[in-house]
Amino acid sequence: MKNNNSDQLKDSNKVTLVLPSKGSLEKVTISFLERCGLSVFKPNPRQYTASIPSLPEITVLFQRVEDIVTKVADGSADLGISGYDIISEYGVEDSDLIVIHPKLGYGYCEIVIAVPQSWVDVDTMADLNEISLDFREKRKQNIRIATKFPTLTKNFLLKHNITHFTIIEAQGAIEAAPTLGYADIVADITSTGTTLRENHLKLLEDGTIIQSQACLIGNKNALLKNRQLLKTLKSFLEMIDASIAGKNYYKINAMLPGNSEDDVALMLLKHSSTRGTEGPSVAPVYAMKDGKVVKGGWFTATIIMKKDNLLETIDHFRKAGATQIIVTPARYIVFSQSQTYKNLLQRLKRG
């Protein structure tokens, strides 16, 4: 569904960002934005509006995750954060909705097919296909599947050549549907599978419909027409990309003995673990001797490194005679530009 005003350039300097008002994504989204330096200010918890002081152009609205998708799709909102599962289920066909950042790094879950544990011979979608045929031939009925995601579930079943089924759209505790008797199996959202197991259900080996996490979405037409939106989005993405990148890096400072900056740098560059991402920076440590400031034969070295190699890196620094090794999480890693924003501009240009 297209926005009737899609061809008009917006005059407003405000950018509308819609966030989850309830559910599993509500609090983690606020926490995520805070980590990114984009804290949301909501003076009254009962209000459905808020602001982001670091980007005053943004007006924040709180809505259900399903409504976030439809509002961005029809142009009622410029940007939104929702789960990829919700976007895939409720994304309006032929709309202007575009996924700007597909992996915000939180809100992980899956939509899966789960069957009763008593179905001991059903472990795969092929087995489920056989059961559905058995239901049709012997019981003269379709297999019933309860779900909150009818579109995704239907497409997934058809992909696996299962045609004899009836979708039971349900809310609430979907995993209880087989026990209560209004469905035979479920297509439900899960993070660990614990709730499904507690309700005597088991996951099929190849029964994952979709893997999901939180995504940033936008209205494509608004992005093409509204310069203020693009400018604000660029700043927004700079902070998000820098924060996400920072989670994967440490900054290491260490004191090392040596004859010169070049000697210390060469020693560190010989090992990949002490080389850092772009090489070390080295500076002399000064001391007082006979009332004069002199170089004391010690140097400070700083590197930025990926977290995976921390123990190996510390070991090499120690072998080089390092003392006072300080490891600091990198809160933000700011590159020359936001790769997400660059990719978006390329997509908009192609579109």
pLDDT at 59 over 70: yes
Predicted confidence at residue 309, as pLDDT, reads: 84
Average pLDDT over residues 110-131: 96
Residues 65-98: tens digit of each pLDDT: 999 999 999 999 999 999 999 999 998 777 899 9
Predicted confidence at residue 351, as pLDDT, reads: 64
Answer whether 15-107+213-246+338-350 and 109-210 agree in fold: yes
User: Range with the lowest mean pLDDT among 9-18, 49-58, 244-253, 332-341?
Assistant: 9-18
Give yes or no for a contact between 268 and 303, defined as CB atoms under 8 angstroms apart: yes
List, as one string, the DSSP characters of 273-336: HHHTTT--EEEEEEEEETTEEEEEEEEEEEEEEEGGGHHHHHHHHHHTT-EEEEEEE-S----S
Predicted confidence at residue 12, as pLDDT, reads: 59
pLDDT at 166 over 70: yes
Q: Nearest to residue 6, comparing CAs of 91, 97, 71, 75?
A: 75
pLDDT at 101 over 50: yes
pLDDT at 8 over 70: no
pLDDT at 188 over 60: yes
Quote the percentage of the chain above a pLDDT of 70: 96
Q: What confidence tier does 178 reach under pLDDT thresholds 50, 70, 90?
A: very high
List CB contacts of 241: < 8 A, sequence separation 6 or more: 335, 338, 339, 340, 341
So where are the chain's domains? 15-107+213-246+338-350, 109-210, 249-329
Average pLDDT over residues 53-69: 95
Predicted confidence at residue 146, as pLDDT, reads: 97
Mean residue pLDDT of the chain comes to: 91
Residue type, 249: Y
pTM of the predicted protein model: 0.85
First to last CA, the chain: 18
3-state secondary structure of 221: helix
| DSSP classification of residue 55 | S
Instruction: Look at the block and give the residue holding tokens 């010169």.
Output: 260
Report d(CA 296, CA 300) in Å as an integer. 11
Q: What are residue 226's phi and psi, to 5 degrees? A: -110, 105
Average pLDDT over residues 91-109: 91
Report d(CA 59, CA 16) in Å as an integer. 5
Residues 247-283: tens digit of each pLDDT: 999 999 999 999 999 999 999 999 988 999 889 999 9
Predicted confidence at residue 92, as pLDDT, reads: 75
What superfamily in CATH does domain 109-210 come from?
A: Periplasmic binding protein-like II (3.40.190.10)
Q: What does the block give as tokens for 194?
A: 């614990």
Give yes or no for a contact between 75 and 7, defined as CB atoms under 8 angstroms apart: no
Element (H, E) at 254: strand 249-257
Report d(CA 52, CA 215) in Å as an integer. 19
pLDDT at 150 over 50: yes
Predicted confidence at residue 191, as pLDDT, reads: 87
Predicted confidence at residue 44, as pLDDT, reads: 84
Task: State the virtual CA torsion across 66, 72, 73, 76 in degrees, nearest 10.
Answer: 110
CATH code reported for the domain at 249-329: 3.30.70.120
Q: Does the domain made of 15-107+213-246+338-350 have the CATH classification 3.40.190.10?
A: yes
